[in-house]
Structure 1
Amino acid sequence: MHLSPDPATASRVGERHGKPTVLRVDAGRMHADGYAFYRADNGVWLTEEVPASYLGFGMM
């Protein structure tokens, strides 16, 4: 899963593949719960999975 720092960036990146749907990820809670995040060489943040309980729509 690729993560973007804000909704505008997520929309811009998502438009490369059609009409984007942007989901909010509670990454802070995920990290506190022990999920690992990795920063790729190009600066993109990655994680293996995002369980549905950490997803939402709209701003945090």
Structure 2
Amino acid sequence: MADFEKRGYTITEIVDKDHMNMDRKTFSKHIRTDKAFPKPFFESGNSVMFWGTNIQYWIDKKSGR
């Protein structure tokens, strides 16, 4: 299971083997379109950052922890 620290993560860091281990297209198509998935705290051009604690909370909520 993925463990996210209290810091900002880019999409590349979220989908890597150490965290969610999925393809970027799969992430964008199925997970990011989920209305409950946290909104990014920073968006500028191609750079999008998400808070790790918000992602961890979303994963815990989805898994029932």
Q: Report the TM-score when normalising by structure 1.
A: 0.35
Q: Report the TM-score when normalising by structure 2.
A: 0.34
